[in-house]
Amino acid sequence: MAKLYYRYGTMNSGKSMDILKIANNYEEQGKSVLIFTSVVDTRHGIGKVTSRVGFQREALLLNGRMREIVEEAKPDCVVVDEAQFATPEQIDMMADIVDQLNIPVIAYGLMTDFQGKLFEGSKRLLETADRIEEVKTVCWYCNSKARFNTRFQGERAVFTGEQVDIGGNDKYRPLCRKCYRKEKEKSERLAEAGGREE
């Protein structure tokens, strides 16, 4: 029986590489896979899944016609990149694809934003997914498991701003809770000192 999977991880945990690997595995077996991604992430162009090691693949854009597209194509599997940017309605559509078309859907995304708050799509996936799995990586500063997507401006962590600000290693680093808290405390001290290093 098909399932809705939610595989989450911090930035730089290899989620996009996993998607490309899954697609390759299905296709090597003569099976078909459809890949969807969000229109929000334009770092490498619209409608592309790109891993940090340089592999890239075209993808369909998440939209209100997803179920219709899947029903027409009848793939063996559907994979979704950047699922944190999906709307609750799009997540429910993924569940419909699983329940009504009996096609597995594997959604990959970030769990939380740079302030540690759930994304809307991630929240709905936590509420509806059949299986929830973590894609792990290590903290940028130590060897603990990374849990936070920490936003940086230069070498300074920032904790205010819009929820969505697209970027890669130039703007975000995966940190463990301890290192995230250290950066937050440092940022608060700098704010109290008027932005000057003490």
Q: Is the dihedral of CA 108, 42, 103, 77 positive or negative?
A: negative
Amino acid occupying residue 22: I
Can you tell me the distance from the alpha carbon of 178 to that of 157, in angstroms, rounded to the nearest whole number?
A: 14
Query: What distances in angstroms separate CA 59 from CA 45, 65, 93, 117, 183, one per listed residue?
Result: 11, 14, 18, 27, 36
Q: Measuring CA to CA, which residue among 172, 170, 181, 153 is closest to residue 114?
A: 172
Query: What distances in angstroms separate CA 149 from CA 25, 83, 189, one per listed residue?
Result: 29, 15, 21
Which residues are tagged catalytic? Answer: 82
Neighbours of 26 (CB within 10 A): 16
List the alpha helices (DSSP H) in the chain: 15-28, 66-73, 88-101, 120-128, 177-192
